[in-house]
Amino acid sequence: MELEGKIIVVTGGARGIGRGLCARFAQEQPEAIWVTDIDADTVEATARELGAVARTCDVALEDDVRQLVSEVMAVHGRIDLFCANAGIAVSGGIETPDDEWRRIMDVNVLSHLYCARAVIPSMLQRGSGYLLHTASAAGLLTQIGSAPYSVSKHAAVALAEWLSITYGDRGINVSCLCPQGVRTAMLDGEDPVIQSLRAGSLSIEEVAESVVAGLREERFLILPHAEVGRYFQNKANDYDRWLRGLRRLRREICGPPAETPPDGGGG
């Protein structure tokens, strides 16, 4: 896909990777970019700077997503590229409270479903359209130290894969962005796992450049970190060996596992 003259919507577009995507897309002379995010002030500031359209949207609410798509359609009559990019991180394992599991699944998974439900019907009517889902290398591999993040990103990849299989023969392209460490606010903090991701991390601009290249080539997996593809192949070739390697890496980063997992859950 070439982005010149296109109508583009980016959720989570006011900061981090989303902002980087909007800034890079703007260089391709699209007809319009709609920057959406949950914080109105940040959305307005980003949109002003990029010459884009600002729209506040809570992607965890399906009605918000439907209204967003309706507004864009009312103005432009089409959406060429919809980027389901909004995401959050939650650390912890099986002890993580249920409300945190629900929160991350709402944003990292169900919001992608809501976006697809809202935008695919009009794309099918036109016989063309493009979906970009931001997941993570954690969705192909795993995330040491965060069961909720890892599970939610696996689900995001699975949904994107299903959409590609189901609608790819009807003119709808799907790409799934799976970066490893990216220098955003998510890499702040002193957690040892986060610190380990800083080595080899990429800038937002490098990730955005990879996305434009991936969209141009219409690749399903967009992997800004080339090593992720190799790790994914290793995982497929010998799953048990890969698991042993990740256990070893976890010990190196986090130390020996606790004898008894912390009590948690419930709510």
Going by DSSP bridges, is the β-strand pair 81-84/221-222 parallel, antiparallel, or unpaired? unpaired
Beta bridge partners of 182: 202
pLDDT in tens, the chain (267 residues): 999 999 999 999 999 999 999 999 999 999 999 999 999 999 999 999 999 999 999 999 999 999 999 999 999 999 999 999 999 999 899 999 999 999 999 999 999 999 999 999 999 999 999 999 999 999 999 999 999 999 999 999 999 999 999 999 999 999 999 999 898 876 666 677 766 777 789 999 999 999 999 999 999 999 999 999 999 999 999 999 999 999 999 999 988 766 555 665 554
Residue 39: which residues within 8 A CB-CB, separation 6 or more? 14, 56
pLDDT at site 266:
55
Answer positive or negative: Cα dihedral of 112, 132, 151, 17: negative
Domain ranges of the chain: 7-230
Output phi, psi for 8, to 5 deg: -125, 135
- Active-site positions? 149
pLDDT at site 42:
97
pLDDT at site 267:
46
Answer positive or negative: Cα dihedral of 211, 85, 6, 44: negative
**3-state secondary structure labels for all residues of the chain:** CCCCCCEEEECCCCCHHHHHHHHHHHCCCCCEEEEEECCHHHHHHHHHHHCCEEEECCCCCHHHHHHHHHHHHHHHCCCCEEEECCCCCCCECCCCCHHHHHHHHHHHHHHHHHHHHHHHHHHHHHCCEEEEEECCHHHCCCCCCEHHHHHHHHHHHHHHHHHHHHHHHHCEEEEEECCCCECCHHHCCCCHHHHHHHCCCECHHHHHHHHHHHHHHCCCEECCCHHHHHHHHHHHHCHHHHHHHHHHHHHHHHCCCCCCCCCCCCC
CATH 3.40.50.720 assigned to domain 7-230? The reply is yes
pLDDT at site 259:
57
Beta bridge partners of 237: none
pLDDT at site 262:
62
Residue 151: which residues within 8 A CB-CB, separation 6 or more? 105
| Single-letter residue type at 257 | P
